[in-house]
Every structure is written in C-alpha cells, then in structure tokens.
Amino acid sequence: MRLGVIDVGSTTVHLLVVDAHPGAHPLPDYSHSVPLRLAQHLTDDGALSDEGAGALARFVTDCVEVAESRGVAQLMAFATSAIRDATNTEAVLEQVAAASGVDLQVLAGEDEARMTFLAVRRWFGWSAGRLLDVDIGGGSLELAAGMDEDPDVAVSLPLGAGRLTRELVGDPPGPDQVRALRKRVRSEIARVRPALAKVGEPHLAVGTSKTFRSLARVCGAAPRADGPFVDRTLSRAALAELVPRLASMTAAERAGLPGVSSARAPQLLAGAVVAESAMELLDLEELTICPWAMREGLILRFMDGLSDD
C-alpha cells in the first residue's frame, strides 16, 4: 500500500510518501517539505496569524495534489506543537479542511513521544534492550523510555528549538541570554528526570529529529548522502565544545557548517543547548542517531492496525 503522511511541525511541514505493508520495512518513495516556520507566525495572544494559517492551508492543499500524483491510497495528516498550542486551533483546522479537504489530527505531546519511540524500537529492534529517546522538535522536546514498543514513560516539554530561539535576541545573542536559556531548559528537564530514572538505566540512548542529525553532522558524523544505515553518534563531549562555538556565530555563519540549512541555522544554538542539557541531566555520554522518528511511527502504527483486522 502506498501511504502518505503530512506532518505539520513548528518549523517545517513535511509530506512523506512510502510503500508499506504489515510486517515490512516502509520504503520511502517521495519527500516534500517547506519551512513554514509556523511558530514565528504566532501572535502576542498565542494565535496562529492569518498569514500563517493561510500558508499552511495552501501547502496542505499542495500536499494533497502531490500525494494523488504519486498514487497514494491513504493520506494521514497530523499536527504537533505549533497547532496544538495555538489559541485558535479549531479555526485553523477548519480553514485547512475547507481548503484541502484534509482533517488534521492534532497529536498530544505524549502521543508524539510514543509514536517516535515506536519508530526507534522498530529501527533498532529488541536487541537494543531498554531504550531512552530524546527528540527535539521546533516547538517541544519529547522524552520516552522503556523496554517495550510502548514506552513506560513519555513526556513532552515546551523546549523546542524554534520556540526557544524566539527568546534569544541578537545575532549572535549575548552570553547572559544563553546562560538564562540554559538555566530554564535544565530546570524543565530536571522536573521529569525522576520519572525517567525509575525506568532504569538505558542500554541504548537515541537522538531523533533534524536537530540531532544536524548537530551530529557538525560534530563529524557521516553526511546524509551516505545513507540511513551508516552508524551516526553524537557525544556529550563534542556537544560541550560545540555550544560555545555556536553561541559566538551568526545565523549566516552557522548555515555554512556541514549539514546545516539556512532554514535551520537560526535555531541550531537553542537546539544544541537543549541537547547538551538533556544529555548532562540524564547522564548520557553518547546518543545514537536514529533516521526514523514520529512520521515513521505513525505509519507503523497504522500498518499494525491493518494487520489486526
């Protein structure tokens, strides 16, 4: 079956088309994305602006046309933090549905963490043992840990790279701002640390999302062109050296780093602060980078449902 998933994130809206059937590895057919940066379209009262909602409706409509042209039999569409946290969520969903015919399903933060964890478990398999997954999105940070396909603990924190970047004024921001950001990030993560610790020490700690892939690439991991089956890791020591370097660079300078796009460069510093803080507070010396994340988890869960019928 050819499936399509529209993932409306805080930074990028992404269409992924795959060929999949129960029990099989989903094979990517086509990927289509645009950096709409919806988090930047939030008004002072927390609503998604008319401009942002209109851009989203147009792109989802484009995604439907692309999906049809690629022969997609089933199209799923999900929204995460930017839409979930907006004060006008229902109005935005209605506008998207009226323009495209697509009913966006808004995922709770915990569900986002669970779907990502499922993808990580399927990628690494049961031999990986107890897993801990750290996922940095544009609007939120998801943490999940456990032995099974459904994690024992799954939490979501408002610590996305795009969300936090709005708090850093200046290019580059001042040292006091970076210090204050680090303090707030660590305070949030420290709140959920006891729940994660109760699950037990992970046999494998994993990083998912574009932020982690970019940070790993800057720190020397293999480029994307080498394919998804190359081992990629990110060490806490390398990240500790990278954060002050990123803090001293402008966004344009960060865009010149390997694996960093101009769209992602502005929020790379905030993402690095979150990554370093999570690794230190959770006592992780290294993260293994997983190429699968929430979109793949949603596809896998959908296929599981078909196999149960």
The domain spans of the chain are: 2-106, 109-294
The per-residue pLDDT of the chain, averaged, comes to 95
Given this chain, do its domains 2-106 and 109-294 carry the same CATH topology? Answer: yes
pLDDT tens sequence across 1-56: 999 999 999 999 999 999 998 888 899 999 999 999 898 898 989 999 999 999 99
pLDDT given at position 308: 67
Enumerate residue ranges in the chain where pLDDT < 50. none
Superfamily of domain 109-294: Exopolyphosphatase. Domain 2 (3.30.420.150)
Q: What is the CATH number of domain 2-106?
A: 3.30.420.40
Q: In the prediction, which pLDDT does 23 show?
A: 83
> Is the torsion defined by CA of 95, 98, 100, 106 positive or negative?
positive
pLDDT value of residue 309: 58
What share of the chain in percent tops pLDDT 90? 91
Q: What pTM, to 2 d.p., does this model score?
A: 0.95
Determine the pLDDT at residue 234. 98
* pLDDT score for 103: 97
